Structure 1
Amino acid sequence: MNEKPRKPQKLKARLPRGFVDREAADIRAVNEMVGKIREVYERYGFDPVETPLFEYTDALGKFLPDADRPNEGVFSLQDDDDQWMSLRYDLTAPLARHVAENFQEIQLPYRTYRAGYVFRNEKPGPGRFRQFMQFDADTVGAPGVQADAEMCMMMADTLEALGIKRGDYVIRVNNRKVLDGVMEAIGLGGDENAGRRLTVLRAIDKLDKFGPEGVRLLLGAGRKDESGDFTKGAGLSDMDTYKVLNFLSRGAVLVAPGSPDSAFVNGGARQASLSEPQNMAGVVKGISYDVDETAVGADGVAELALMAELFEAAGYNDGRIRIDASCVRGLEYYTGPVYEAELTFDVTNEKGEKVVFGSVGGGGRYDGLVSRFMGQPVPATGFSIGVSRLMTALKNLGKLGDDEVVAPVLVTVMDGDVESMGRYQRFTQDLRNAGIRAEMYQGNWKKFGNQLKYADRRGAPIAIIQGGDERAQGVVQIKDLIEGKRLSGEITDNAEWREARVAQDVVPEADLVAKVREILEAQAEDRRRAKGI
């Protein structure tokens, strides 16, 4: 018995895990936001550069977030010459390669910005994607912390250019050298303690998630979470744990979620409001006690003191920028100042709880990253903005997408002969040439009802109609679809509808553009009134 041939199985359309499709509204919102950021960076004298999505894997180095092995966390493939390439996981490592490769042609200090997608081969989760956009600014070849201070001021100006008001954000500043000084002061200096230092660093970096009490446990024997899973701690003594927590309290303002204020030891200059100027000199002096006269710690204190002077002189010590020892960036390649942009207003999380929005970007000094390629010191500093996360914040504040994009005017098609099609196309081009979004209907023109359904689904504000009778008279019908939809809910019978000739005008062809512009302006005014503007 002959079996019937099997039909080929249809290909299943499915989105890869950890990735998202972006629709028009989100794309426009990102473009609006990136444009405002770019304006600030350009005003500071930064220029754009673009690097490819792929880099040779060895060029990315061992600087992946929370990874101990060089190739962990990246998407890689082997080239036809057997060399491994990986999708970039951030925009900093590719910049380091670009600078090193073009070092003789680049003018130092090299001040540049770039926006683009980065990729992390990590387990996806709620709000955690494998592809996301970053927007970075970097200065390469500037050894002084003046460059770091400028980055912090530019971050503040960027947030305000996006409509985030003072008091709703803070730029937190610290220095890895002072943290290294604290590590030496508690006996964790030297290469032999590198592993324990990393454990301490990761514990400190959990402050915003677990609070001071959670960090205390991670610095000591370890912490058990709600599920019962146990994370082994750094094994510090109670006294050394106290010293680390005391250091973290210097300049701190906000208490981490779920933690009482008393959980932070009484070590330094807490203040009630971000709107008050900070005693930066006092905070830096307190930090100097914590580093216990170690050489590396003293260097860090001196750098923080200079940055504090620059913030004061430029007028940024008004709550916008703060010295805060609890700011400890997670990446291991930072070598000096580190800084973080934090939004301080409350939002409701997926559990319905009120939480502080938190970090939307940060960075620091990474003097060793370019040097890997050069065999000589090349100082560098920079920061990165998480575009998707910042866009979420701006939407929460109602600061993004206020300028609604109007759908295209639809030029309908009543006749399919060559002459008529040419006239419809000319109407469409006349509107476009006047700066008005417009499209000529491209579907099955013989069913006119489908054209109006399409206009409704598309949200078209106006439909242009010209049949044989109108063409003979040299006129066009212009239907205000927005007003028509509104009035259709108020008129109750066909006779009243016919008598009213709802939201429809007949104008000479020569007046088409002027009349369409008049109707669009009236619609825009109606929207402004509806918003109370």
Structure 2
Amino acid sequence: MAKDKPTKLKARMPRGLADRGPAELASTRAMLETIRKVYELYGFEALETPFIEYTDALGKFLPDQDRPNEGVFSFQDDDEQWLSLRYDLTAPLARHVAENFDRLAKPFRSYRAGWVFRNEKPGPGRFRQFMQFDADTVGAPTVAADAEICMMAADTLEALGIARGDYVIKVNNRKVLDGVLEAIGLGGEENAGRRLTVLRAIDKFDKVGIEGVRDLLGEGRWENPAAKSGDFTKGAGLDEAQAAVVLSLLDRQASYEKPANETYAAGLAELDEIAALVTAAGYEGRVKIDPSVVRGLEYYTGPVFEAELTFEVKDEKGRPVRFGSVGGGGRYDGLVGRFRSEPVPATGFSIGVSRLASALSYLKSAEAAPEYGPVVVVVMDRDQTAHYMGLVATLRSAGIRAEMYLGNPKNLGNQFKYADRRNSPCVVIQGSDERAAGQVQIKDLIEGAKAAAAITDNAEWRSSRPAQFASSEAELVEKVRELLDHHGVPHGAALS
């Protein structure tokens, strides 16, 4: 009787997650460093919080969820307390500030970069794990802190290579929105659900236009309105008069009687002050007041802002792509105060690193230099492995990325194929004759030498040697540096 073969595990990645290769990691690392420099220029300092928080520390402020155990990945500790993976970097900051309140200098200015996790249905551009880079000011009650955050967001995008005019920092105020909702009878806790539905409808203005928002404020909207097909989104159930007041926020041509309540007036005054501050600082046109901005999280209490890319590019199929929002934030004066007896004002901004990196890859793809791998020292004689390692160590000590081929050295052609796949700028070759003469051969892979992939043995290599030159071992570092500099391949300084 034949034995059943053991079942092999199927290699598969969970939905909503992604592996990242060296090129993406390198570009992300460079982008994070640029953002960090701008944030530090504004006086913000680094802070790191853990990936996991107590679920009750996140409270009800979860992404588009009404229950504290939804929208996040949660589990119970051995003491039966619920823990959750952080869904943003703001709630952990609020906990950190409250826990260390008396020893922190205030206003407390910090930046944080890291992974966040959303237990939501994944889809195109919607991941369960993604990276954010935040900057927050805690303990500053004036809107000057909000204006500064907006100016810093503009400077950050420009430092990353996005030209002035290809982005805009849009600013609104939740007090203006709340004042309008009060005016149409949606104030009070009992109307919290309908208020959220109205805000979500306004937030879709850029995607569905004024008529789409009108539908969402009323009975609802079909995914394909003309055919009344596709998914149906239930609306807020406003009557025509109520909807007209809300729509007038989005329609600059409409005229209506402004709400006569303190909430609306306070929000409008704050927007006027922000506009005056950014204009005085020279950011007019880069930072703009826009009544369509609605941030999704419930904890925003004042000014809210969104960084939007306005340029359009083509995808690999020639279709137009517009990235839209790549970051946002706002004032959240109640979040830290949940842990304390007094209110604590705070404002902050978050960059969606993955989304912004994708936009930058389109923007820079034409002029982007290729990412080169390390110099590869091939192995001609297996009994000389220690000597080859010495050559590698010499290159590394000079700050040059290098490695010795660690596969089966029997087939020289495979070693060259490996170097090609690693996108190596050159390989270092040394047989017994070169070693006896104290020399090496340096093969320039950038210049050509495409035929190297076909070389299969030492005899063929000796008769071919395309794009190749000799160097003494003593000059190895100098000659490799000359080659790298000639091709514009970056390399480091000597290790101390």
| TM-score for the superposition, normalised by structure 1 | 0.85
Look up the SS of the partner of 2:424 in the other structure. coil
Pick closer, same or farther for the CA change 1:292–1:428 going to 2, 3 Å. same
Deviation readout 1:123-173 (Å, 9 max, x if unpaired): 111121111111111111111111000000000000000111111111110
The code of the aligned residue for 1:425 comes to M
Give the corresponding residue for 1:249. Answer: 251
Alpha-carbon distance in structure 1 between the residues aligned to 2:325 and 2:462: 59
Q: 2:63 matched to which residue of 1?
A: 65
SS of 1:151's equivalent?
helix
- CA distance in structure 2 between the aligned counterparts of 1:501 and 1:76, rounded to whole angstroms: 60
Do the aligned residues in 1 keep the contact of 2:310 with 2:322 (CA within 8 Å)?
Answer: yes
User: Whole-Å Cα distance in 2 between the matches of residues 79 and 507 of structure 1?
Assistant: 62
Aligned equivalent of 1:331, options 287, 291, 297: 297
User: Which residue of 495, 502, 521 corresponds with 2:485?
Assistant: 521
- Partner residue of 2:402? 438
AA at the equivalent of 2:375: V
Distance 1:40 1:212, change over 3 A: same
3-state SS in 2 of match to 1:298: helix
For the Cα contact (< 8 Å) 1:29–1:401, is it kept in 2?
A: no
Change (3 A) 1:487 1:377: same
Give secondary structure in 2 for the equivalent of 1:248: coil
Alpha-carbon distance change, 64 to 464 in structure 1, aligned in 2, over 3 angstroms? same
Q: What CA distance in whole angstroms lies between the structure 2 residues aligned with 1:203 and 1:428?
A: 61
Give yes or no for contact 1:362–1:383 (8 Å, CA) kept in 2: yes
- With normalisation by structure 2, the TM-score equals 0.91
Across the aligned residues of Structure 1 and Structure 2, the Cα RMSD in angstroms comes to 2.3
What CA distance in whole angstroms lies between the structure 1 residues aligned with 2:126 and 2:59?
A: 23
User: Which residue pairs with 1:208 in the alignment?
Assistant: 206
Say whether residues 1:455 and 2:457 are aligned partners: no
Deviations 1:217-249 (A, max 9, x none): 111222222234433322222222111111223
C-alpha distance 102-189 of structure 1, shift in aligned 2 (>3 A): same
Match of 1:305 among 272, 287, 290: 272
Instruction: Report the CA distance between 1:191 and its aligned residue.
Output: 2.5
Quote the residue 2:29 is aligned against.
31
What SS class does the counterpart of residue 12 from structure 1 fall into? Answer: coil
- SS of residue in 1 equivalent to 2:247: helix
8 Å CA contact retained: 2:372, 2:422: no
1:33-112 alignment runs, 5 A limit: 33-112=31-110
Deviation at 1:484, TM superposition (A): 4.2
Match in the other structure for 1:402: 368
Structure 1 residue 421: Cα displacement: 2.6
Moved more, 403-412 or 196-205: 403-412
SS in 1 for 2:428: strand
Instruction: Indicate how the Cα distance of structure 1 residues 192 and 503 shifts in structure 2: closer, same or farther if over 3 A, else same.
Output: closer
**Does the residue aligned with 1:225 lie in a helix, a strand or coil?**
strand
Unmatched tracts of structure 1, length 5 or more: 251-265, 269-288, 490-496, 526-533
Counterpart residue number, 2:312? 346
Pick from 484, 501, 512 the counterpart of residue 476 of structure 2.
Answer: 512
Within 1, Cα distance between the matches of 2:472 and 2:192? 81
Partner letter of residue 59 of structure 1? A
Aligned to 2:237: 235
Identity %: 66
Matched, 1:380 2:346: yes
Task: After TM superposition, list the pairs within 5 Å mapping 1:149-164 onto structure 2.
Answer: 149-164=147-162
Aligned amino acid, residue 378 of structure 1: V
Determine if contact 2:326/2:351 at 8 Å carries over to the other structure. Answer: yes
Match among 252, 263, 267 for residue 254 of structure 2: 267
Q: Indicate conservation of the 8 Å contact 1:394/1:400, yes or no.
A: no
Contact 2:39–2:111 (CA under 8 A) maintained in structure 1: yes
Q: How many angstroms does 1:449 deviate by?
A: 2.9
Deviation of 1:185 (Å): 1.7
**Per-residue CA shift, 1:377-411, capped at 9, x if unaligned?**
01110011111111111112117993433221111
C-alpha separation in 2, matches of 1:482 and 1:225:
51
**Structure 2: any 5+ residue segments left out of the alignment?**
454-460, 490-496
Shift of residue 351, structure 1, vs aligned partner: 9.0
- How far residue 87 of structure 1 moved from its aligned partner, in angstroms, is 0.7
Q: Secondary structure at the match of 1:135?
A: strand
8 Å contact 2:371–2:423 — kept in the other structure?
A: no
1:414 corresponding residue in structure 2 = 380
**Deviation above 6 Å: which 4+ runs of structure 1?**
349-352, 497-500
Instruction: Work out the CA distance in 2 between the residues paired with 1:482 and 1:291.
Output: 67
> Secondary structure of 1:239's match?
helix
Shift of 1:291: 4.2
| Paired residues of 1:408 and 1:437 also in contact (CA < 8 A) | yes
Cα distance in 2 for partners of 1:102, 1:386 equals 27
Deviations 1:89-140 (Å, cap 9, x if unpaired)? Answer: 1111111111111112111111001111111111111121111111111111
Deviation of residue 350 (structure 1)?
A: 9.3
Q: Distance in 2 between matches of 1:148 and 1:85?
A: 32
- 1:463 counterpart letter in structure 2: V
Q: Contact conserved, 1:89 with 1:119, CA < 8 A, in 2?
A: yes
> In structure 2, what residue type is equivalent to 1:332?
E
CA distance in 2, matches of 1:178, 1:213: 22
Q: Is the 8 A contact 2:57 2:91 kept in 1?
A: yes
Verify the 8 A CA contact 1:363 1:384 in the aligned structure 2.
Answer: yes
- The answer (yes or no) to whether the contact 2:299–2:334 under 8 Å persists in 1 is yes
Matched position secondary structure for 1:21: coil
Query: Which residues of 2 match residues 117-266 of structure 1 at below 5 A?
Result: 117-226=115-224, 227-250=229-252, 266=253
